Amino acid sequence: MNFVIPAPAVSSLGVAGSDSRFPVRRIYCIGRNYAEHAREMGAEAPRTQPMFFMKPADAVVTDGADVPYPSATQELHHELEMVVALARGGRDIAEADALACVFGYGVGLDLTRRDLQAAAKAKGHPWDAAKGFDHSAPVSALAPVSAVGHPQARRLTLEINGELRQQASTADMIFPVAAIIAELSKLWELAPGDLVFAGTPAGVGPLARGDHVRAELAGVAVLEARIR
Ligand code: MN
């Protein structure tokens, strides 16, 4: 294939225990998937219908690289999240079949320009500038299901400069991984290479230039990065 300009690079994540990498196609995110976080944002926790948004694939920051403080915000927030990577996709995937689509798991930050998000919410505008900016998705290396299985009730923690700022059990997710995949597949045809950010627990807050972040999904993955 000849392209009229150089083809864009494929974003990818490292894979624990492998020299091969996981290519990223799309990044789906679920909002308000922990009741206490929904409350801290002044929102109702959803009961039947999850709320989704997306980030561009090239928003991923991998391999512990520094994260540049984004433009156009005075309020960059961290959201600690489990990340699910799909090896298979499809439409209208049944919950019972959903976990068979998973390649592996990692931990990431759904970085958010909270001031722009508040302005967008107030005006009924979309969240793209608040959520889908460049470098807005730092993610750890992935742990394959073949190595770690499907983690249930794992502890998620985020330390900033050594201080614990967010913690939860993934058992507290309102929509568990299989339900998220099933619901997403009603709206989009999922495909290999898709990532899913599974929602943040309570305790979101600001990041400053120079901060060191350490996110962990116990027994599965660790992400360390610095904001510059
Ligand atoms: Mn989030």
Query: Does residue 16 surpass a pLDDT of 90?
Result: yes
For residue 130, how far is its CA from the centre of ligand 1 (angstroms)? Answer: 11
Quick: pLDDT tens for 109-127.
999 999 999 999 999 999 9
In this prediction, residues 15-33 reach a mean pLDDT of 97
For residue 65, how far is its CA from the centre of ligand 1 (angstroms)? Answer: 20
For residue 2, how far is its CA from the centre of ligand 1 (angstroms)? Answer: 38
Cβ atoms of 200 and 110 closer than 8 Å: yes
Per-residue confidence at 97, pLDDT binned at 50, 70, 90?
Answer: very high
For residue 180, how far is its CA from the centre of ligand 1 (angstroms)? Answer: 14
Give the pLDDT score at 46. 79
In this prediction, residues 17-42 reach a mean pLDDT of 95
Query: Does residue 27 surpass a pLDDT of 90?
Result: yes
Give the pLDDT score at 154. 96
Query: What gap in Å lies between CA 214 and CA 58, rounded to an integer?
Result: 22
For residue 142, how far is its CA from the centre of ligand 1 (angstroms)? Answer: 19
Mean pLDDT over all residues of the chain?
Answer: 97
Query: Does residue 48 surpass a pLDDT of 90?
Result: no
DSSP E strands in the chain: the ranges are 12-14, 21-23, 27-31, 51-55, 60-61, 76-78, 80-86, 102-109, 112-113, 137-138, 143-144, 155-160, 163-169, 195-197, 205-206, 212-217, 221-226
For residue 31, how far is its CA from the centre of ligand 1 (angstroms)? Answer: 5
> Would strands 205-206 and 212-217 be described as parallel, antiparallel, or unpaired?
unpaired
For residue 32, how far is its CA from the centre of ligand 1 (angstroms)? Answer: 7
Query: Does residue 202 surpass a pLDDT of 90?
Result: yes
For residue 3, how far is its CA from the centre of ligand 1 (angstroms)? Answer: 36
Quick: pLDDT tens for 58-95.
999 998 999 999 999 999 999 999 999 999 999 999 99
Find residue 227's DSSP bridge partners: 67
In this prediction, residues 2-22 reach a mean pLDDT of 97
Give the pLDDT score at 125. 97
In degrees and rounded to multiples of 5, residue 67 shows phi and psi of -110, 120
Query: Does residue 43 surpass a pLDDT of 90?
Result: no
Alpha carbon dihedral 30, 144, 212, 10, in 10-degree steps, equals -80
Query: Does residue 44 surpass a pLDDT of 90?
Result: no
For residue 199, how far is its CA from the centre of ligand 1 (angstroms)? Answer: 5
- Spell out the residues 6+ positions from residue 202 whose beta carbon is closer than 8 angstroms to its own: 34, 36, 37, 39, 40, 166, 168
For residue 206, how far is its CA from the centre of ligand 1 (angstroms)? Answer: 14
pTM metric for this prediction: 0.97
For residue 113, how far is its CA from the centre of ligand 1 (angstroms)? Answer: 11
Per-residue confidence at 214, pLDDT binned at 50, 70, 90?
Answer: very high
For residue 204, how far is its CA from the centre of ligand 1 (angstroms)? Answer: 9
